[in-house]
Amino acid sequence: MNFSHGLTFLLYLHQIVLYSTPRGMMKYLLAGLAALIFSAFAFSSVCFAQTTDKSEMLIDTTFHAFGDPFVIEGTDVSIIPPAYFMPFVQNGKIGFVHKGAGSTIQVQILDSILYTFVAASFTPEEMLKQNAVLKEHGSILTNSGQQAEFFIISFFIKALDKDVEYERMMLLTGDYKRTVWVSANYPIIAKPVVYSVLKESLLTIEF
């Protein structure tokens, strides 16, 4: 599918993936108990309404971290989103959406949880139980020098009688008192355009 001619289809897929997750909820390991791994993006349909604003269809394929950091309200956590990603906060969900690319960024803060415990539960076996595939995992440093774990998982969404592959990149970092979890969703057909800018944005997380 030609990316420039598939924006309407991408927007349709975007609505589906944000209202659904691979089967089961995401879980992390803490004191032998499971908790969330795959968080559902339950955002208002207003965020996904098709727009005639041409700026919504623009994709900047280079990331320039010259904008002001977006500070998560009530915290000292900040991130610089890519160009044309619009911020929104609803029902405790904090993120950024690009309607044309069918892509989102979400920031979650888990208090009193070490990020290493969360990362330890992201195993290939656990992902398969959730109908997802762990495609990549490695240690990484954020732009501010914080240690982090970086994951990419893939899963399929049923849309228009087709199985459409999505990827979710996740960056886990934090300190002794909290986990900072940043994730980005995008359809595979948009990956050549959005992958680099999304990853660079995740690396701007500071706290």
Predicted confidence (pLDDT) per residue in 18-30, tens digit: 444 444 334 434 3
Q: Which pLDDT score is estimated for 107?
A: 93
Q: Which pLDDT score is estimated for 101?
A: 83
Q: How many domains does the chain have?
A: 1
> 207 in a domain, yes or no?
no
Each residue of 57-83: pLDDT tens digit?
A: 455 555 555 568 999 888 999 999 998
> 91 in a domain, yes or no?
yes
> 55 in a domain, yes or no?
yes
> 108 in a domain, yes or no?
yes
Answer yes or no: is pLDDT of 108 > 60: yes
CATH number at residue 188: 3.40.1000.10
Q: pLDDT category, 206, cuts 50, 70, 90?
A: very high
- Which of 81-90, 132-141, 167-176, 185-194 is the least confident region? 81-90
Domain carrying residue 123: 3-202
Q: pLDDT category, 130, cuts 50, 70, 90?
A: confident
Give the Cα separation of 105 and 85 in Å (integer). 9
Query: Which residues are CB-neighbours of 198 under 8 A, at least 6 positions away?
Result: 82, 103, 105, 169, 184, 186
